[in-house]
Amino acid sequence: PADLDTSFSSDGYFYGDQQAAFAAALQPDGKIVAVGSNGNQVLATRYLTNGLQDSTANGGSGFGTAGQGYMGTIVAGTSDNQANNVVLQSDGKIVSVGTLVNDTGSVPQILLNRYLNNGLFDTVANGGSGFGTGGQGFYTAAISGFTIDSITGLAIQSDGSIIIGGYGTSSGISNLFVIGFTSDGVIDTTFGTSGITTISIGTDIIGGRIALQDDKVLITGATIISSEYNLVVARFNADG
């Protein structure tokens, strides 16, 4: 029967106070990485195979700040930081994508993070290679002329390039979008048009989940045509 596995976190589940998880990935060693939000903070947390947080107190290797099992951070001058998807790189680094809201303009922005295997941001100071703007471990920016509604798509191409996907509006027209980043976490201006590719079909298009097919980018969604929602699947070349 489909009963809860009580060997997992003693009762089959784990919950964190004021925390939400929106995506998870499984490491080769069986540990579970989950991402989401912790109040206004973006959250990355890791669990042992038994469902307990990967903290030194629980006998784990220690993940995140002070080995407490999670990493919760907020970008200065913003709110509503959250991650909607997560993927693992072949070298064990953890990439998450989501959105935040800038306090000055209330405009949703991209939030792309990369963590080392120990849960700390991928910065040189933490022993990493440096990721994102100024090597601070994350990238955040609005899309010029575009209002982001949601970012849920995330994938890594064979050369390490990072692709994200979502939906939003431009000049009042709803679009699916795909954005390319270099492996260092900055916009790849050779991808699409200055880093972004969009597609608009019908009206009120939503979606953004992506998958890779020989590095070509598949994006899924739904749109209204003739007053009815219709499925959308589009494919872009590897360079957008």
Q: Concatenate the DSSP letters of all residues of 30-89 into one string.
A: S-EEEEEEETTEEEEEEE-TTSSB--GGGTS---BGGGSSEEEE--TTEEEEEEEEEEE-
Q: What is the pLDDT of residue 1?
A: 67
Burial of 64 (0-12, 13-18, 19+ CB in 10 A): buried
Overall average pLDDT of the 166-174 stretch:
93
Indicate the pTM of the whole model: 0.94
Residue 105 has pLDDT above 80, yes or no: no
Average pLDDT, the chain: 94
Contacts of 157 (CB under 8 A, 6+ apart): 163, 212, 215, 238
Q: Are 74 and 41 in contact (CB under 8 A)?
A: yes
Q: What is the pLDDT of residue 152?
A: 97
Q: What is the pLDDT of residue 102?
A: 86
Residue 185 has pLDDT above 80, yes or no: yes
Q: What is the pLDDT of residues 18-29, one digit of tens each?
A: 789 999 999 999
Q: Are 60 and 52 in contact (CB under 8 A)?
A: yes
Least confident among 104-113, 128-137, 148-157, 182-191: 104-113
3-state secondary structure of 223: strand
Q: What is the pLDDT of residues 2-12, one digit of tens each?
A: 789 888 888 88
Q: What is the pLDDT of residue 92?
A: 96
DSSP state of 187: B
Q: What is the pLDDT of residues 24-79, one digit of tens each?
A: 999 999 999 999 998 889 999 999 999 999 999 999 999 999 999 999 999 988 99
Neighbouring CB atoms inside 10 A of 180's CB total 23
Neighbouring CB atoms inside 10 A of 69's CB total 23
Report the percentage of the chain scoring pLDDT > 90: 82
Residue 16 has pLDDT above 80, yes or no: no
From 131, 180, 133, select the one nearest 159 (Cα to Cα): 180
Contacts of 165 (CB under 8 A, 6+ apart): 151, 152, 153, 154, 176, 177, 178, 179, 208, 209, 210, 217, 219
Q: Are 62 and 49 in contact (CB under 8 A)?
A: no
Decide which of 2 and 119 is more confident: 119
The tokens describing 64, both together, are 């995140």
What are the Cα distances from residue 83, in Å, to 12, 38, 40, 193, 214?
A: 24, 10, 11, 25, 26
